[in-house]
C-alpha cells in the first residue's frame, strides 16, 4: 500500500511537500529520506510523534525505543493501524520545531517509481539550526536573454548596496579604548 502525506511547517504559510510513502517503510528510512530531501544534518537527534484524528499525542518513536517502538522497527502501516493519522517529525528538539506529516489518503503503486516519492513542493527548505522558520526574500525571475537590461539594472543595484556597506567601514582601523576612538598610528583623536 502507498500512502500520501502532506508535510507542512506550522510557522510557514507557503511551505509544503506532498510525499507518497510505501506502507512497509520504517520510520528510520523515512527519517533518512526527510534528512536528504530537506538538506538536514544526519547527526542530529530526531523524533516522530504520532497523533490520532482528535489531535491527541499517542506515541513517540525515537532512534531508540521510548516505549512505543524504535524508528527502525515501526513502519508507516503500523502507525496508521494504530489510528495515528498525523506525525510530527521533530528535527530541532531544543526549540520544539517540527514538520507536520498529515495522512491525505492512499494512492496507487506505480511500477518503476522509487519510493518515497516527492509529488509536489512549495517554499524553501527550513534551516535546521535556526530558532524559527524564515522565508527567503523574493528574487525576480528573469530570462537571461530577453531580460538582459533588467539583469544589468539588478546587478547595478546590488553593486550600489555593496558600496554603501563599504562606506560604513571607515572606522574599522580605529580602536575603542573605553572612552573614545583613536587611530593606532596617530594616537588619540
Please list the residues that pair with 18 across neighbouring strands.
Answer: 6, 120
Domains of the chain from N-terminus onward: 2-122 (3.10.290.30), 148-188 (no CATH)
Cβ atoms of residues 48 and 68 within 8 Å: no
| pTM (predicted TM-score) | 0.67
Q: pLDDT tens, 145-182?
A: 555 555 566 566 666 555 555 555 555 555 555 555 55
Q: Supply 33's cell numbers.
A: 529520506
* pLDDT for residue 12: 86
Q: pLDDT tens, 26-84?
A: 999 999 999 999 988 888 889 999 999 999 999 999 999 988 999 999 999 999 999 99
Q: Supply 34's cell numbers.
A: 526527510
Compute the average pLDDT of residues 120-138. 70
Confidence label for 136 from pLDDT (cuts 50, 70 and 90): low
Amino acid at each position: 500500500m502507498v500512502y500520501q502525506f502532506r508535510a507542512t511547517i506550522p510557522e510557514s504559510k507557503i511551505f509544503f511537500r506532498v510525499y507518497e510513502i510505501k506502507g512497509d517503510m520504517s520510520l528510520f528510512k523515512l527519517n533518512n529520506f526527510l534528512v536528504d530531501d530537506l538538506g538536514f544534518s544526519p547527526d542530529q537527534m530526531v523524533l516522530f510523534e504520532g497523533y490520532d484524528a482528535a489531535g491527541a499525542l499517542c506515541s513517540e518513536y525515537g532512534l531508540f525505543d521510548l516505549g512505543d517502538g524504535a524508528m527502525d522497527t515501526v513502519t508507516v502501516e503500523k502507525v496508521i493501524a494504530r489510528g495515528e493519522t498525523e506525525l510530527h517529525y521533530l528535527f530541532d528538539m531544543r526549540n520544539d520545531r517540527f514538520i507536520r506529516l498529515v495522512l491525505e489518503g492512499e494512492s496507487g503503486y506505480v511500477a518503476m517509481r522509487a519510493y518515497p516519492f516527492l509529488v509536489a513542493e512549495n517554499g524553501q527548505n527550513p534551516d535546521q539550526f535556526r530558532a524559527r522558520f524564515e522565508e527567503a526574500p523574493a528574487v525576480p525571475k528573469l530570462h537571461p536573454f530577453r531580460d538582459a537590461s533588467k539583469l544589468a539594472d539588478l546587478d547595478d543595484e546590488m553593486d550600489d548596496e555593496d558600496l554603501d556597506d563599504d562606506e560604513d567601514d571607515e572606522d574599522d582601523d580605529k580602536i575603542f579604548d573605553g572612552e573614545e576612538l583613536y587611530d593606532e598610528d596617530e594616537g588619540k583623536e
